[in-house]
Amino acid sequence: MVYLVSGASTMDQSSDNSLTEREKQIIENRGTEPPFSGEYDNFYEPGKYVCKRCNVELYRSADKFDAHCGWPAFDREVPGSVNQTLDQDGRRIEISCANCGGHLGHVFTGERFTSTNTRHCVNSLSIKFLEIQ
CB 40 within 8 A of CB 124: yes
Note the pLDDT tens digit of each residue in 44-58. Answer: 999 999 999 999 999
Taking the CA atoms of 66, 69, 75 and 79 in sequence, report the sign of the dihedral they define: positive
Q: What is the pLDDT of residues 60-98, one digit of tens each?
A: 999 999 999 999 999 999 999 999 999 988 999 999 999
Tell the burial category of 11 from Cβ atoms under 10 Å away from its Cβ (0-12, 13-18, 19+).
middle
Is residue 69 flagged as an active site residue? no
Domain positions in the chain: 3-8+17-132
The CATH number of 3-8+17-132, from 2.40.50.320, 2.40.50.140, 2.60.120.560, 2.170.150.20, is: 2.170.150.20
% of the chain exceeding 90 in pLDDT: 83
